[in-house]
Amino acid sequence: MTKVLIHEVGPRDGLQIEKATVPTETKIAWIEKILESGVDVVQLGSFVNPERVPQMADTEQLFRYFASAERKPSKTALSGLVLNEKGLDRGLGCGVDYVCMGVSASDTHSRKNTGMSTEEALSRIVPMALRAGAAGARVQVSVMSAFGCGFEGPVAFDRVMRIVGRYVEAGLKMISLADTAGHANPAQVEELFTKLRTLAPDVLYACHFHDTYGLGLANAFAAYRVGVESFESAVAGLGGCPFTAVTGGNIATEDLVHMFARMNVRRDVELDPLIDAAKQAEQFLGRPLPGRIHVTGPVPEHELVTV
């Protein structure tokens, strides 16, 4: 079995929708806990207009803090999301070496999220991705609303595959499908990723599922079954896109890590720091958060079943 990669997006996707601004020092404390767990990537924030997403106003400050020599993680990469050329300039300017960017397969969601149609966004994202790669950054491109749209409903596979095809033609080999509206189901996930792996088998595929309708973890398992290697999640199930119709949180990182540990797929990510971070977020926000393992704890070690 391929070792799966865990990409924590809580500091970005998890917090972007929260109305109460989380102070920078609080974010730092949560991120330090997450780093203790040994996840592979942590997304510190996004380089967007702070007037539209005030929660992300300190993204550059976070990168400069964690990129300093004495704090830079040895095992964990730090990623940042960009939506346009200005955001990419800001990211590269503060030393981001793992850049994420994407295009929505839904024209309506694309216009609400970026002010551009899908085609307009794609014509800009591909050159941006190539420029980021030429600057020495690792680049992951995504297709948002890949499994359905809260405004438009179903999204045709062909539309997703066309965008992926444009990425592949440009030589981009890290590609994520995001279920922004939470509409995906496991059978659909298996079918679409199987088609994509046939189209471009040498791509490292990632997935990003929201648990809006309760299928997030099932969809992640379906993606794993067909060879997806990278999984994006947020501690405590935080998150949601502020520019979709019905917002739901991400898969909880501690739940995802617990599932892969129980399957004996990945046992080296530490749950305790993730649980601590989830509880801290819950306490700060003053409400129960949707993750499960930070509430129940993991299955006791002696009850784990080897598969």
Q: Which residues pair with 179 in a beta bridge?
A: 209
Distance CA 189, CA 207 (A): 10
- Which helix (H) or strand (E) segment holds residue 207: the answer is strand 204-209
Under DSSP, is residue 56 helix (H, G, I), strand (E, B) or coil?
A: helix
Distance CA 162, CA 142 (A): 12
Give the sign of the dihedral formed by CA 205, CA 243, CA 252, CA 179: negative
Do the Cβ atoms of 294 and 252 come closer than 8 Å? yes
Active site residues: 241
Best CA proximity match to 43, nearest among 91, 103, 89, 98? 98
Best CA proximity match to 210, nearest among 242, 252, 243, 245? 252
Strand 230-233 relative to strand 77-82, pairing: unpaired
With 0-12 CB in 10 A as exposed, 13-18 as middle and 19+ as buried, what is 285? middle
